[in-house]
Structure 1
Amino acid sequence: MASDFIVPEFLEDCDADTIHARMMDELPNDIDKTEGGFPWDFTRPTALIAAELLQFYIPEAIKLMFPQWSSGSFLDYLAAGSQTKRKASTYAEAVLTLTGEPGTIVPGGTVFATEAKNDQPSIEFAAVESCILNEEGKGTVLVRALLDGKQSNVNAGAIVLMSEPVEGIQTVTNKEKATGGTEEESDDDLRERILEADASEETSYIGNNADYKRWAKAVDGIGDAIVIPEWNGPETVKIVCLDQNGEGANKTLLDAVYNYIMAPDNPADRLAPPNTILTVAAPDLVNISYSFTVTVADGFELSTVISGFKKQLESYYKIVADEGAVKYIKVHALLTGTPGVEDFTDLLINGSTDNIRIENDEYPYTENVEAKGAE
C-alpha cells in the first residue's frame, strides 16, 4: 500500500487567497487594491492557476518520482531502475480425464470448455499436447485456459464440454480445480518488491535466503515464497511457492521458478551459485476457517468487512513462516484494525482460540470466513 504523502514545507501556504494577497502586496500603494477593482480582477486568475500548480501538479509530480507514492506506468519505470518489472497475468491449467474408444487421438490444441451458467459465459481451455486413450479407453491431457486471469481457475468437475466433438471421446472432466490463473501484478505488490530490491541492494549476497525469495517472487504468477536452506543436506535449497491467489503454485509456475533461477538451458543466465541443488515445490496448505460476530460501523457492509479481513490475513500469512504459527492474538489484532469493524465478539480460528501450527513446508489458506452481524 502506498505510504501517506506529506506535502513538503515549501509547498505549504500556497492556496489561491494567500498567493493573491502576496501579489496585491507587491503592487504600488497608490493603486486601488480593493476586491472587484481592475488590479484585483486582473491578478486573480493568475493566483488561481499558480495555486493549482503548487497544490496539485507539483505534489503529483513528486509522488511519481518515488515508489512509495508512484503508480501505473511511472511505477513501471521505477521498477526498471531497480532491476525488476511488473509481473504479467498468467493462464489457469487443469488436467482433464478423458474416456472413450481405446486408441482415440485427441490432438493438441483441442478446445474444451465449461458450461455457461447463470449469465456466466463458458470458459475455454486448449489441450497443451496430444493424448491417446489407452487400452481401457482412458487418458489424461493438460489443458490451458485461453483467457488469462483468475476467472479461469474453475472448480473440479467444471470442464465437461468439447467445443468441437472428437469422435470416440465419451466423457470429459477435470477431477481437480484448475489453478495458476492470476491477474497482472497490482501497484501495491510491485511497490513492495521495488522497496525490497532497493533495501537489499547493499546487503544482498548471491545465494542468501533473501535472494532466493526475491528471485522466486519475480516470476509471473508467483505471490509468495518460503526459502528452506540445507533442507536435504549441504548446498540444498528448497523454495516453497504460492501463486498470487494464495494457493499452491501449479507445476507450470514451479517449473518457471526453477528455470528462472537455475537456467538449465542457458548456464550464463543462472542466478543460483554453483553446486546449488534447488528444489521448487508447492506447500501443503493448512485450511483455516474463521468465525466471529461483528458490529459493522455506519457506512460499511458486512461483505466489505469480510473482504477487508481476508486482505489483512493475506498480508499476515507472509510472515507466518517466521513465527511458525497463525497466532490468535495476531488475528484478533487484524480484525480489530479492519475498516468497518466497530466491535466484535466470539472470534474463533478453526473453532477454537488456539494458535494454528505451521510447519516449514506448510502455508495457511483461508478456507472460510463466517461472520454475522451483531443484533
Structure 2
Amino acid sequence: MFEDQTFEEIMERMLSRISADIDTREGSVIYNALAPAAAELAKSYIWLDTVLELVFSDTAQGEFLDRRATEAGIERLAATKAVRAGEFTPGITIPTGSRFFADNLYFQYTADGTLECETAGEAGNANISGQNLLSLDTIPGLEKAIVKDILIPGREEERDDSLRDRYFTRVRREAVSANKQHYKQWAEEVDGVGKAKIFPLWNGEGTVKIVITNATLEPASDILVKKVKDAIDPKEGQGEGEAPIGAFVTVESAVWKEVEISAEVLPELNRSIEDVKADIEAGVLQLFKKMAFEDNVIRLSQINNIVYNASSVSDYSDIKINGLAENLVLNDVEIPKLGQVNIIEQTR
C-alpha cells in the first residue's frame, strides 16, 4: 500500500517545498538537514505496511494470528507428547509416574500402562523401538524394560496455515450444528489426530462414522481411536461428548494401501541408480502425505512428474503403479503407503 513512499520520493516532496533561491543539491546544508527525517519517514511507511499485513487474518502470522483466532474462540494447538508401548518384566507392578530414560528421552509410566514422553513434539517419535529403558526409580523385581512402538505420535505446535484454516472454518460458520465439518473439527482437535474423514448415515439414521489418521498421517492406534470416541460420543446417543443427543458415533482407523512404483530410468552422468531410487522415493512419500484423506486417486501423471523432476534422472519410460500403467483408486478409508520402488536402469 505504501510501496511508493520511498526515501527518494519523500525527499523530492520535501525539497520541492524549499524556496528556489536555496541550494537543495545532494550534500547541501538543507539536503543534509532533511535527509534523516526522510529516512525515518520511509522506515515508518515500511512499518505501516507490515502492521497492515499483521492486522488481517489472511496475512497475520505468529502471535498476531493467535490474537485474531482468540477473538473467534480458537487457540493454537500446543505441541503434544508421544505415547509409546513398553515391555516390562511379567508380573511386576510399576507405579504410575515412574520415570524411564532412553536415547536422551525421558518417559513416564501412565495409569493405562503406556509410556508418555516428557518432551513435547516429534522428539518422542524417534526410532528407538526395541531399546532398553533405564529406570530412574527403584522398582523391585524389574529386570526388563524395553520401549516399543508408537501408540500416539507426538506433534509439534500447530503451524500458522493450519490455525488460519481452522479460524476461517469457524468465522465462516462452516462447522456448525453438528454438520460434517463440525464432526471433522471435533476429531482433529483431539491430541494425536492428524486428519479425519466423516461418513454420515453410514449405518442408518443417526449414525456417523469417523475415520482418523494419527498426527503423522498413518493409521491410528486403538488408544487414539478410543480417545476420539470418548471425546465425541463416550455413551452412544446420550450427548455426553461433543456429539448431540441421538447421534451414534463409530470411530475407526484409516488403513494402509500399499503402493508399488516401477520405472525404467536413465540416470544422469555421475549419478547412480540408488540416487534415482532415493529421489523418487522422497518425491512419492511427499505426494502421499499430501494425499491422505484429501484425494483418493494416485494419478500416473503425478508419478511421471516426480520422475521427470528428479535431479538424478536423465530419461525415463514405462512407469507403472502396482504393475499397471494407469491411475490407482483408493477406497474411502485407505491412505497410501509406499512399498517397493523398482527401478530398472536403461542402457545408453
TM-score by length of 1: 0.75
Q: Which residue of 2 aligns with 1:112?
A: 100
Q: Which residue of 2 aligns with 1:28?
A: 19
State the 1:72 CA deviation: 1.1
Residue 37 of structure 1 aligns to which amino acid in structure 2?
S
Q: Which residue of 2 aligns with 1:66?
A: 56
8 A contact 2:97–2:109 mirrored in 1: yes
**Of 114, 122, 127, which residue of structure 2 is paired with 1:150?**
122
Q: How does 1:224-303 map to 2 (within 5 A)?
A: 224-262=195-233, 270-288=241-259
8 A contact 2:152–2:192 mirrored in 1: no
Q: How does 1:314-333 map to 2 (within 5 A)?
A: 314-320=289-295, 324-332=296-304
Q: Distance in 2 between matches of 1:348 and 1:205?
A: 43
Q: Which residue of 2 aligns with 1:3?
A: none
Query: Are 2:141 and 1:168 aligned?
Result: yes
Q: Distance in 2 between matches of 1:249 and 1:149?
A: 17
Query: Are 2:32 and 1:41 aligned?
Result: yes
**Of 81, 96, 109, which residue of structure 1 is paired with 2:86?**
96
Pick closer, same or farther for the CA change 1:60–1:268 going to 2, 3 Å: farther
Residue 327 of structure 1 aligns to which amino acid in structure 2?
R
**Of 161, 184, 190, which residue of structure 2 is paired with 1:188?**
161
Pick closer, same or farther for the CA change 1:112–1:289 going to 2, 3 Å: farther
Residue 20 of structure 2 aligns to a residue in which SS? coil
Residue 249 of structure 2 aligns to which amino acid in structure 1?
L
Q: Distance in 1 between matches of 2:40 and 2:193?
A: 46
State the 1:229 CA deviation: 1.3
Q: Which residue of 2 aligns with 1:126?
A: 108
State the 1:304 CA deviation: 9.4
State the 1:74 CA deviation: 0.9
State the 1:32 CA deviation: 1.8
Q: Distance in 2 between matches of 1:342 and 1:364?
A: 24
Residue 280 of structure 1 aligns to a residue in which SS? strand
Q: Which residue of 1 aligns with 2:74?
A: 84
Q: Distance in 2 between matches of 1:188 and 1:371?
A: 36
Pick closer, same or farther for the CA change 1:277–1:162 going to 2, 3 Å: same
Q: How does 1:203-214 map to 2 (within 5 A)?
A: 204-214=175-185
What's the RMSD between the two structures over aligned residues?
3.8
8 A contact 1:309–1:335 mirrored in 2: no
- Cα deviation, 1:295-346, whole Å, max 9, x if unaligned, reads 7xxxxx99899767644543333412xxx332223454577789x8998745
Residue 109 of structure 1 aligns to which amino acid in structure 2?
G
**Of 197, 203, 214, which residue of structure 1 is paired with 2:170?**
197
8 A contact 1:240–1:361 mirrored in 2: yes
Task: Name which of structure 1's ranges 302-311 and 324-333 shifts more when overlaid on structure 2.
Answer: 302-311
Residue 184 of structure 1 aligns to which amino acid in structure 2?
E
Residue 69 of structure 1 aligns to a residue in which SS? coil
8 A contact 2:193–2:214 mirrored in 1: yes
Residue 314 of structure 1 aligns to a residue in which SS? helix
State the 1:271 CA deviation: 3.4
Pick closer, same or farther for the CA change 1:39–1:326 going to 2, 3 Å: same
Residue segments in structure 2 that go unaligned for 5+ positions in a row: 269-274
Q: Distance in 2 between matches of 1:226 and 1:284?
A: 12
- Percent identity, please: 25
Residue segments in structure 1 that go unaligned for 5+ positions in a row: 1-7, 131-140, 296-300
8 A contact 1:156–1:174 mirrored in 2: yes
8 A contact 1:305–1:341 mirrored in 2: no
State the 1:77 CA deviation: 0.9
Residue 158 of structure 2 aligns to which amino acid in structure 1?
E
Pick closer, same or farther for the CA change 1:211–1:45 going to 2, 3 Å: same
State the 1:211 CA deviation: 1.4
Task: Name which of structure 1's ranges 349-358 and 43-52 shifts more when overlaid on structure 2.
Answer: 349-358
8 A contact 1:155–1:177 mirrored in 2: no
8 A contact 1:180–1:249 mirrored in 2: no
Q: How many residues align?
A: 336
Q: Which residue of 2 aligns with 1:298?
A: none
8 A contact 1:95–1:143 mirrored in 2: yes
Q: Distance in 1 between matches of 2:334 and 2:116?
A: 27
Q: Distance in 2 between matches of 1:270 and 1:68?
A: 32
- Cα deviation, 1:6-53, whole Å, max 9, x if unaligned, reads xx3xx1321111111111112222322211111111111111111122
